[in-house]
């Protein structure tokens, strides 16, 4: 395997730490131990830009999940974690954020290798946003509060004292996708640690590397063994075993709507608490008065950021008929100029998709749209040569019943259609089963404010798209999920409320 490994790794300008990490045999973290899968099986980790083997990781299954859940329970019950003051947990989380920041370039290279995204973007977004999120969340550790409540029992004269306590929910099973591997891990693990929970994390099979490096840094930051356990493996084996495990107190999932529904069913069998951040098909609505140069740039970013592999990607463009041609030509121009290449090439503007499966899925959608009568004014399929590259694509002449318009593609594909008035814009925007996000591009405050309440979306951006902030609740309406991450509500997802009533 070492010969096969050397190809991609030797070609890129990698930090020595990244080379070392890739060349070490990969083990998963259960309790204090770095272990192989009980079955001994492994999963190949590929470089999506060259299709070459980078390394392998353990293919964890039911027995490994069982062991990890036990380790997480032992850590949850141990005074070394349970009895820590909030100030100590806060300090540990801040130390972990510092460690991640200190290793930002290394983690970004790892992410670029594993996922295909641009190393520069990975450093700013994946690592940068993760560090900001951790620092924001760390502050809540010392601000978790219950309340005292005056009660009226049916026994006149009895003196009472009643209060609520917020307690950690227990062991969290976190299942995450491959589009922002480190950031998704940190979005799940941090609020759980803030609340005093312990975690079993299952990263996506396509992108397990940054989660394993993150686990090393968690131990380095001083968290007791068992507080974070990472089981690498497939969704249908490790993921399913985690979601249905009766020892899991909460499942936190980000991924597709179809898998989210399955996880929800499995969790419900044990009445395990569950939060689901799922897919989307988010509209971008451009009013006739929008500042078009700014809007065109923003719209191109709205769909092509992270190669369209973003749950909030602005994958449907609705522009007022008066400006429709100018807007779509502008976005198509931006698409055509984008330079495709490996994420580790600093001149790359768009890397490969994450896997051959994802490339084929995205190209299948494009073909189905073209067959149904849509027209590509940019892109239109895979790029030739090695790597899972798909050309940034803009489709016009679409109809509402086409799969490319109503289903999530999760790739660099924009569908565009004109509208004539606000009612039509609202009807089109709300016309899918999803409700994750939407953006409005306009300078007319009155129109913007009339539109906001009518959009079925968990987040509405105005003259922006894809901007997520740790202080602003994030999640979906309709089939885009259940629950809201970010802000204080994110901590409540990892706590139970205990009511205490005393006769004194």
Active site residues: 277, 311
Torsion of CA 302, 308, 312, 314, to 10 degrees: 40
Query: 236 Cβ partners below 8 Å, 6+ apart?
Result: none
Residue 498 interacts with ligand NAP (CB under 6 A)? no
Task: Please say whether the beta carbons of 220 and 92 come within 8 A.
Answer: no
Is residue 240 close enough to count as binding ligand NAP by CB under 6 A? yes
Q: Which residue in 171, 166, 170, 187 sits closest to 253, CA to CA?
A: 187
CA distance 321 to 417: 9
Nearer to ligand NAP, 168 or 255 (CB): 255
Q: Minimal distance in Å, beta carbon 229 to ligand NAP?
A: 15
**Nearer Cβ to ligand NAP (21/178):** 178
CB of 138 to ligand NAP, least distance (A): 21
State the angle between helix axes of 181-195 and 104-115 in degrees (0 to 180), rounded to the nearest 10. Answer: 130
Verify binding: residue 111, ligand NAP, rule CB under 6 A: no
Nearer to ligand NAP, 334 or 468 (CB): 468
Least CB distance to ligand NAP at residue 252 (A) = 11
487 binds ligand NAP (CB under 6 A): no
Identify residues 265-304 at the interface with ligand NAP (CB under 6 A): 277-280
Q: Exactly one of 45, 92, 129, 175 binds ligand NAP (CB under 6 A); which one?
A: 175
Query: CB of residue 137 vs ligand NAP: minimum separation in angstroms?
Result: 16
User: Torsion angle, CA of 100/104/107/109, rounded to 10 degrees?
Assistant: 180
Give ∠ CA 327-315-397 in degrees, rounded to 5: 60
Q: How many residues bind ligand NAP (CB under 6 A)?
A: 30
Q: Is the dihedral of CA 146, 151, 154, 157 positive or negative?
A: positive
d(CA 470, CA 481): 18
263 touches ligand NAP (CB under 6 A): yes
Q: CB of residue 232 vs ligand NAP: minimum separation in angstroms? A: 8
- Closer residue to ligand NAP, CB minimum distance, 193 or 457: 457
Q: Which tokens in the block code for residue 355?
A: 């896997």
Residue 462 Cβ vs ligand NAP, minimum distance, rounded to whole Å:
20
Using the rule CB under 6 A, which residue among 205, 365, 435, 477 binds ligand NAP?
205
Is residue 176 a contact point for ligand NAP (CB under 6 A)?
A: yes
- Closer residue to ligand NAP, CB minimum distance, 262 or 273: 262
Figure out which of the listed residues 123, 254, 275, 442 binds ligand NAP, where binding follows CB under 6 A. Answer: 254
In terms of CB distance, is 205 or 492 closer to ligand NAP?
205
Q: Can you tell me which of 116, 224, 226, 255 binds ligand NAP, judged by CB under 6 A?
A: 255
What single-letter DSSP state applies at residue 55?
A: E
Exposure string for 151-186, b = 16+ CB within 10 A, e = fewer = eeeeeeeeeeeeeeebebbbbbbbbbbbbbbbbbbb
Q: Among 109-117, 127-135, 143-151, 171-179, which window interacts with ligand NAP (CB under 6 A)? A: 171-179
Q: CB of 367: closest distance to ligand NAP in angstroms?
A: 20
Distance CA 252, CA 409 (A): 23
In whole angstroms, the minimum distance from the beta carbon of 405 to ligand NAP comes to 16
Please, which residues bridge with residue 204 across strands? none
Angstrom distance (rounded) from CA 189 to CA 192: 5
CB closest to ligand NAP, residue no: 235
Rounded Cα distance, 106 and 96, in Å: 15
Q: How far apart are the first and last CA of the chain?
A: 71
Asked if residues 206 and 178 have their Cβ atoms less than 8 Å apart, the reply is yes
Contact window for ligand NAP (CB under 6 A) among 31-39, 200-208, 321-329, 369-377 = 200-208
Rounded CA separation 467/457 (Å): 14
Using CB under 6 A, pick the residue from 171, 243, 334, 350 that binds ligand NAP.
243
Binding mask 131-160 for ligand NAP (x = CB under 6 A): ------------------------------
DSSP β-bridge partners for residue 200: 173, 229
Give the neighbor-by-neighbor strand order of the sheet with 413-419. 375-378, 393-396, 413-419, 314-320, 282-286, 437-441, 459-462
Tell me how far apart the alpha carbons of residues 464 and 461 are, in angstroms, rounded to a whole number: 5
Q: Which segment (113-121, 165-173, 254-262, 422-430) binds ligand NAP by CB under 6 A?
A: 254-262
Comparison of 14 and 487: residue with beta carbon closer to ligand NAP: 487
Among residues 89, 103, 202, 250, the one that binds ligand NAP under rule CB under 6 A: 202
- Is residue 61 a contact point for ligand NAP (CB under 6 A)? no
Measured in residues, the chain has a length of 504
Least gap, CB of 71 to ligand NAP (angstroms): 20
> What is the dihedral angle through the alpha carbons of 90, 91, 95, 96, rounded to the nearest 10 degrees?
-30
Binding site for ligand NAP (CB under 6 A): 175-179, 202, 204-205, 234-236, 239-240, 243, 254-256, 259, 262-263, 277-280, 311, 408, 410, 436, 476, 481
């Amino acid at each position: 395997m070492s010969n096969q490994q050397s190809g991609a790794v030797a070609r890129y300008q990698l930090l020595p730490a990244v080379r070392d990490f890739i060349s070490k045999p990969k083990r998963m973290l259960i309790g204090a131990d770095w272990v192989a899968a009980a079955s001994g099986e492994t999963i190949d980790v590929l470089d999506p830009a060259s299709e070459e083997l980078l390394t392998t990781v353990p293919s964890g299954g039911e027995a490994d999940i069982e062991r990890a859940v036990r380790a997480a329970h032992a850590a949850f019950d141990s005074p070394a974690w349970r009895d820590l003051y909030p100030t100590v947990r806060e300090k540990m989380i801040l130390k972990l954020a510092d460690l991640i920041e200190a290793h930002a370039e290394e983690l970004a290279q790892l992410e670029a290798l594993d996922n295909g995204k641009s190393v520069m973007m990975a450093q700013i977004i994946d690592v940068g946003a993760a560090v900001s999120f951790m620092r924001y969340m760390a502050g809540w550790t010392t601000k978790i509060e219950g309340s005292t409540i005056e009660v009226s029992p049916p026994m006149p004269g009895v003196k009472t004292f009643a209060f609520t306590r917020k307690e950690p929910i227990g062991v969290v099973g976190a299942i995450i996708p491959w589009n922002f591997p480190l950031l998704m891990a940190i979005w799940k693990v941090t609020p759980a640690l803030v609340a005093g929970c312990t975690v079993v994390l299952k990263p996506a099979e396509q992108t397990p590397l940054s989660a394993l490096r993150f686990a090393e840094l968690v131990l380095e930051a001083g968290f007791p063994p068992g507080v974070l356990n990472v089981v690498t493996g497939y969704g249908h084996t490790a993921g399913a075993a985690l979601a249905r495990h009766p020892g899991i107190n909460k499942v936190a999932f980000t991924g597709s709507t179809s898998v989210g529904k399955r996880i929800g069913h499995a969790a419900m069998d044990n009445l395990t608490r569950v939060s689901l951040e799922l897919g989307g098909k988010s509209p971008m609505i451009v009013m006739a008065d929008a500042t078009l140069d700014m809007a065109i740039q923003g719209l191109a970013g709205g769909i092509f950021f992270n190669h369209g592999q973003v749950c909030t990607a602005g994958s449907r463009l609705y522009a007022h008929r008066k400006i429709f041609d100018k807007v779509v030509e502008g976005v198509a121009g931006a698409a055509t100029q984008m330079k495709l290449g490996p994420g580790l090439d600093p001149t790359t503007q768009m890397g490969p998709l994450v896997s051959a499966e994802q490339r084929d899925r995205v190209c299948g959608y494009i073909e189905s749209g073209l067959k149904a009568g849509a027209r590509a004014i940019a892109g239109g399929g895979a790029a030739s040569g090695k790597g899972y590259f798909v050309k940034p694509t803009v489709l016009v002449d679409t109809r509402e019943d086409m799969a490319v318009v109503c289903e999530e593609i999760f790739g660099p594909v924009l569908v565009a259609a004109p509208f004539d008035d606000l009612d039509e814009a609202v009807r089109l925007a709300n016309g899918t089963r999803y409700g994750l996000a939407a953006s409005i591009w306009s300078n007319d405050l009155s129109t913007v404010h009339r539109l906001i309440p009518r959009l079925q979306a968990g987040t509405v951006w105005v003259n922006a798209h894809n901007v997520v902030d740790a202080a602003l609740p994030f999640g979906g309406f309709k089939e885009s999920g259940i629950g809201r991450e970010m802000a204080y509500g994110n901590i409540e997802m990892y706590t139970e409320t205990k009511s205490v009533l005393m006769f004194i």
